[in-house]
Chains A and B, each alone.
Chain A
């Protein structure tokens, strides 16, 4: 099967390797080295999609990242990817692509009715039309518009591909491998610099791939290949193709994505699909080249109308003719290359040049090849719905405001050229203040703010000799600042065609009484008339015009439309372009998949998981785990068909009755050493610490400077100058930073060192009336009696040879001990506890039972210490020393904190003694009261009291102390419950604390 538009003897594709693919379910073939775009064009396919607003048929405008039209949906199922430029996709066997934004098909699209109704869809249409009635927006307008608009379809399943991140440092990062990039990379690399050369496309060389030039007496492409080979052989150089530097961030940090897998025919199983590089470069050389500017004329969006440079690229890289009856429409010389290229390949083009007769060498060459040229002509309109069929051309009148002698000329493609726009995105992102350059009629980099240098056509330099001179010079100078090696290489001679100036005409006039759509932004269907309307309606700032018309806001981010838009605004406003200014260039330069940005940090790798040394035991014993910060903690140990509530009641009741064991490894632990340790504690805790005896623990509360409770825990004096602090699991990290802040910044005179020892120790709490008996079995050599190891006592002992710390502290409110051993002995300790506790009816208990036990005891935890309460709210007034100053004390004199009617912690019991009160319920006097019903407090924690066998909750209630005995309603609109409750003391069980001291 031959391809109608494929040439036999030109291009860099591999004609020995056919590749079959499908587009809109139809099978085609192309060759290895093709893009989806070049393969479709070789098969004569131009119609690839529909435009966003009017659903107009669209084809290819470009050949690379600038493509606004040819966006396709790639592949199916979880691997599907929307809005991909067909011009960037490398062809692989079995590739499946479909058109977007059209239904039922790209050939017949219902939405195209918008095209015929386009008078009703001016700029701002949606803003103006769907304002009223208000509630219609969410219910009716928005869902319908969403369905009709939008481009591709997002995948619904998780992405099965793997993405990697990589960090790299270098002396010189060169972005782009055109002549500037090659010259500066080579010069820097030869001078000993560590260089990264990044090329977005699969092939290196940039313009050298398509331009007829010589460097060092070789063809441009040949020279380029040699330089790349040499750079690849150098150990100090990383050369990357398919790698797009898309963002320039602070301190010369560049972010780049590398396409690793999609182009491979047989990728290995673990090959990442893409790799994200974070590159910190000492110097960055931006050689991103330039993008051709389209011309604006009536119906300039039909399939078959393409940039002249793209048409040339399709011939020279892929051996594909985009048509056999081409019109070249230009305001400058560079499009003549495209015409000559057509001619050389046996196709006679017609050149329409807006300029009056000019006499440039390249025009002479075209004339000598018998190419027909019409000077001082413009294209007023085109015909052909799904594919261009003809152009209406005319001779310009004197001031080029209209035409004389319009006539129709048939054609099968139009190659347009409005000269070149430097690609300044990265320079601008780096903070470079751009400046308008009248010669190239575009913004170019001006003043660098970071170590950034822009070269070549990205800077508006369009002659090869100057490009090479600059490239070699800057490559040497910038690298020499770093390496100081003074190795400078000679600039090779070069030869190229000479181009003359372009005409400053981009937007063609309309013939009299005609209102053809002249598109500026193709993807978002922004036409000249929309911009005119925006200005008529009073939008002046270019940023406002952009947002009102959506000019440049599509996925191509206006790469081909920005300057034509600016030019138009400045023409209408009778300003010069630099006065109009430009919109902001933001990263990413091209679309980047979310998968690449998140890399491997997905699913369970989203954050690290911390497990206690006893984790495997818990797993084996049917633990159901819960996330506690980064920790995985057993929530309960499931027996038979128990649910969470049943299991937690069983476990908690067993603690109250016999003995239970709980893994408390995750509790934050901080080791504090130094002669001023007690003084530090005395300053950060609200109570007194100087006189704590060695071998004793004490409960402490820490405040923030604003007086709010920060954390609580027990701290133990191990020896005179050595303390062991515990924090809540949640605040462990913050408490350490807090201590470090005060020690290093505020009180550097204190001689104290602090370090996290959370992971050094495995912890087990044994709690319940049988716990002393069990402790005695675990440590037969020490006296565990109440006299020798009283409440808040501390002892060091051997657990069958394992050094252990025993703290007599209790969160459950029962007689309890916490045993710590070195982490690697954690499992040994745990198994010993289970083994020796067996006949004492020991059961492990999880966080849910732990909560139950602490709630009915009225012990506060994170759900009460929620960053809004002060100590007295939690009935912790007694913890506030009157004799000494401490962090946050001064704030407690604030008027609001002295208010005696403040919130206070209380207990709640439902009157029916069986309805569980949902956490987060609001407390109100009368649940039927009209809204806004005054809220008196909220429920912070709920449990099923195992002591009283009814529900019990803790709440923070206004004037709580005086409310005890009253009845209120706990309402939860989320759970749709109103429960009548009695306010009781928060100390529901053992209010005098006798059990812990027993």
Chain B
């Protein structure tokens, strides 16, 4: 079980969190023209890298904040965690 450092609450066990997917994903702005392929990319296509991955987690059984986790998917090492509006360290 991973130990994840919530930027608001500190280190907690994985059971308190839920995974939220690729953190680099950007939702197209509302009300703008979006091509089929762009929309497809946004809704369906995800990378599944072996190695470093910036991802979203939700502290669902804690402060209920979404935040970013920079993690190695091969070793499960967590390189850093940061608030949504922070740059990754």
Contacts and interface: CB of A to CB of B under 8 A. Distances in A.
Contacts of A737: 18, 58, 60
Contact of A741 (B20, B28, B43, B76): B20
A803 interface: no
Interface in B28-47: 28, 30-31, 34, 36, 39, 42-44
B66 A745 contact: yes
A740 interface: yes
Contacts of B44: 706
A683 B43 CA distance: 17
A251 B34 contact: no
Interface string B55-66: 010101000111
B88 interface: no
Given A706-B43, A885-B30, A890-B39, A250 B76 contact: yes
Contact of A251 (B18, B60, B76): B76
A280 B64 contact: no
A751 to B, nearest CB: 15
Given A449-B75, A885-B30, A745 B56 contact: yes
B27 A746 contact: yes
A278 B75 CA distance: 21
A252 to B, nearest CB: 8
A249 interface: yes
Interface in A730-783: 736-737, 740-741, 744-746, 748
A253 interface: yes
A962 interface: no
B28 A890 contact: yes
Contact of A885 (B31, B42, B78, B84): B31
A578 interface: no
Given A740-B64, A748-B85, A250 B2 contact: yes
B3 A253 contact: yes
B23 to A, nearest CB: 8
Interface string B4-42: 000000000100001010000001101100101001001
B56 to A, nearest CB: 7
Contacts of A893: 36
A574 to B, nearest CB: 34
Contacts of B28: 890
Contacts of B64: 736, 740
A891 interface: yes
Given A740-B66, A890-B34, A249 B1 contact: yes
Nearest to A449: B75
A790 interface: no
Nearest to B78: A251
A744 B84 contact: yes
Nearest to B4: A251
A249 to B, nearest CB: 6
A278 B1 CA distance: 10
A470 interface: no
Contacts of A744: 65-66, 84
Nearest to B26: A746
Given A249-B1, A706-B43, A737-B60, A683 B85 contact: no
Interface in A259-314: 278, 280
Most A CB contacts (10 A, CB to CB) among B27, B56, B85 go to B27
Contacts of A713: none
Nearest to B85: A748
Given A250-B2, A745-B56, A745-B84, A705 B76 contact: no
Given A280-B3, A740-B66, A891 B31 contact: no
A705 B84 contact: no
A706 B43 CA distance: 6
Contacts of B66: 740-741, 744-745
A431 interface: yes
A492 B30 CA distance: 73
Interface in A870-903: 884-886, 890-891, 893
Nearest to A745: B66
Kindly state the interface size class of chain A when it binds its partner.
Answer: 20 to 34
A126 to B, nearest CB: 36
A683 B30 contact: yes
Contacts of B20: 741, 745
Contacts of B75: 431, 449
A705 B46 CA distance: 14
Contacts of A748: 84-85
A787 B45 CA distance: 52
Nearest to B44: A706
Interface in A233-262: 249-253
Interface in A894-945: none
Contacts of A705: 27, 42-43
Nearest to A754: B64
Contact of A250 (B1, B27, B39, B56): B1
B47 to A, nearest CB: 18
Contacts of B34: 890
A741 B2 contact: no
A278 B65 CA distance: 26
A886 B76 CA distance: 36
B39 A891 contact: yes
A891 B1 contact: no
Contact of A253 (B1, B42, B65, B78): B1
A683 B29 CA distance: 11
A499 B81 CA distance: 52
Contacts of B13: 253, 278, 280
B18 to A, nearest CB: 7
Most A CB contacts (10 A, CB to CB) among B58, B60, B66, B75 go to B66
Nearest to A742: B27
Interface in B49-89: 56, 58, 60, 64-66, 75-76, 78, 84-85
A884 B31 CA distance: 7
Contacts of A891: 39, 43
A890 B75 CA distance: 38
Contacts of A280: 3, 13
A32 to B, nearest CB: 39
Contacts of A431: 75
Interface string A435-457: 00000000000000100000000
Contacts of B1: 249-251, 253, 278
A736 B18 CA distance: 13
A740 B58 CA distance: 9
A961 to B, nearest CB: 27
Nearest to A255: B1
A705 B75 CA distance: 32
Nearest to B39: A890
A364 B81 CA distance: 64
Contacts of B84: 744-745, 748
A251 B65 CA distance: 22
B2 A251 contact: yes
A731 to B, nearest CB: 15
Nearest to A252: B3
B39 A251 contact: no
A449 B3 CA distance: 15
Nearest to A251: B3
Nearest to A891: B43
Given A737-B58, A890-B39, 7 more contacts: A250-B1, A250-B76, A253-B13, A278-B13, A280-B3, A744-B65, A893-B36
25 contacts: A250-B1, A250-B2, A251-B1, A251-B2, A251-B3, A251-B76, A253-B1, A253-B3, A449-B75, A706-B43, A706-B44, A737-B58, A737-B60, A740-B58, A740-B64, A741-B20, A744-B84, A745-B56, A745-B84, A746-B27, A748-B85, A886-B30, A890-B34, A891-B39, A891-B43
Sorted from nearest, which 4 A-B pairs have the closest CB atoms? A251-B3, A885-B30, A885-B31, A744-B66
Interface of B: 1-3, 13, 18, 20, 27-28, 30-31, 34, 36, 39, 42-44, 56, 58, 60, 64-66, 75-76, 78, 84-85
